[in-house]
Amino acid sequence: MSSALETRPAVAPPDAPAFADPPTLGRRSVHDVARLAPAGRRLRSGAARAARASVALLAFLVLWELAPRLGWVDPVFLPPFTQVAQTFAGLVADGTLATNAGASLVRAGAGFSIALAVGIPLGLVIGWSSRAAQYLSPFFEVFRNTAALALLPVFILILGIGESSKIAIVAFACTFPVLLSTIAGVRSVDGLLVRSARSLGLRGTQLFRKVVLPAAVPTMFTGIRMAATGSILVLIAAEMVGARSGLGYYITAMQFNFQISQMYAGILAIAIVGVAINGGLVLVERRLMRWRP
């Protein structure tokens, strides 16, 4: 037991009985040791984890390099990775990628922000009023499971082919995961916490702000991350259909011009943007939820 405590302090689930409690029994030093010990280990295990995580990726890149060179696939349709990387570097240097990625990010960002601005407040209200949730959740489920892209023609008909239709479809696609996860987050707040906060005299907005909202954040964040990933996905597709800038536009344009290497460089850029966005959100999430074990 004590060794378990030393390696991983306080991993016991909240209800688990605790042993050897008295806080005076030199427990502090145990904790302090425990805090220091994993630091070195974390570094090492971090490196190991990074190595494990990149094995598959590296293998994939090697395969990509070899397949065209060894004639397994036609190099015209799949240029080797190093060639694509060279093209990529060139496009970074001449600003082509920055321009298009910038255009895409502005649209995705705008749509995503609208989704947050609509989905979070609405979700909080609906989740808090259990009656509303009962009525509205199924309705939202239907919309969420309607592929947003199927509605693209509708958006283009109504809003035209400019920026607004692209931002609108991103906003539409992102709103539902945000909304539904916010509803779920609010509804799953531990009733005991609410009861205890009420007994401490918290009421109304105070109760909401200090207990319900923070308790809902972890669940909300799964939806927010889904929405962020979805925003890029939907936007690229929309840009492929009709746009004059953006990564989706760039990829299709290069395909039509038969600049295959450029096309792959565009795809690479999308992958990098996606990973970066997700990574950024993970950081935000960690920062907001530092209290988590």
Partner 1 sequence: MSALAPTTSGLRFASVTKEFPVRGGGTLTALSELDLDVGAGELLTVVGPSGCGKSTLLDMVAGLSTPTSGTIEVHGREIRGPGLDRGIVFQQYALLPWRTAQANVELGLEAKGVPRRRRGAIAREHLDLVGLTGFESRYPHELSGGMKQRVAIARSLAYDPEVLLMDEPFAALDAQTRESLQDELLRIWRATDKTIVFITHGIDEAVYLGQRVVVLTPRPGRIRAVVDADLPAPDGVTDLRSTPEFVALRHRVWEALHAADPADQVPDPAPAGPAAPTRTLEVAHV
- Residue list 153-192, contact with partner 1 (CB under 8 A): 192
Question: Which residue bears the tokens 């220091």?
Answer: 36
- 77 binds partner 1 per the rule CB under 8 A: no
Identity of the residue, 15 or 56, whose beta carbon is nearer to partner 1 in the bound complex: 15
Q: What is the nearest approach in angstroms of partner 1 to the Cβ of residue 278?
A: 23
- Binding residue (CB under 8 A) for partner 1 from 28, 42, 49, 244: 28
Q: Does 71 bind partner 1 (CB under 8 A)?
A: no
Considering the complex, state which of residue 49 and residue 198 has its C-beta at the smaller distance from partner 1. 198
Q: Is 53 in the site for partner 1 (CB under 8 A)?
A: no
Does position 198 bind partner 1 by CB under 8 A? yes
**285 alpha carbon, distance to own chain's centre:** 10
Binding segment for partner 1 among 10-18, 137-145, 219-227, 267-275 (CB under 8 A)? Answer: 10-18
Q: Residue 51 CB, nearest distance to partner 1 (Å)?
A: 30
Q: Does 9 bind partner 1 (CB under 8 A)?
A: yes
Query: Restricting to residues 251-290, which ones interact with partner 1 according to CB under 8 A?
Result: 289
Give CA–CA dist 41/47, Å, rounded: 10
Instruction: Name the amino acid, one letter, at 229.
Output: T
Task: Show the tokens assigned to 122.
Answer: 């609405």
**Contact call for residue 201 and partner 1 (CB under 8 A):** yes
Count, residues near partner 1 per rule CB under 8 A: 37
CA pair distance 229, 239, nearest whole angstrom: 16
Q: Nearest 10 degrees: CA dihedral of 281, 282, 285, 287?
A: -110
The whole-angstrom separation of Cα 245 and Cα 82 is 26
Angle at 215 between CA 23 and CA 204, to 5 degrees: 110
**List 44, 52, 131, 203, residue binding partner 1 (CB under 8 A):** 203
Q: Per-residue DSSP letters for 83-111? A: HHHHHHHHHHHTTHHHHHHHHHHHHHHHH
Q: Are 219 and 184 in contact (CB under 8 A)?
A: yes
Report the residue number, 24 or 145, with the smaller CB distance to partner 1. Answer: 24
CA 199 to chain centre: 37
Among 20, 66, 93, 142, binds partner 1 (CB under 8 A): 20
Instruction: Please say which residue, 215 or 241, places its beta carbon nearer to partner 1.
Output: 215
Q: Does 138 bind partner 1 (CB under 8 A)?
A: no
Options 2, 15, 131, 145; binder of partner 1; rule CB under 8 A: 15
Burial of 171 (0-12, 13-18, 19+ CB in 10 A): buried
Residue 226 in contact with partner 1, rule: CB under 8 A:
no
CA distance 151 to 270: 23
List of residues contacting partner 1 (CB under 8 A): 9-12, 14-24, 28, 31, 192-193, 195-203, 206, 210-211, 214-215, 289, 291-293
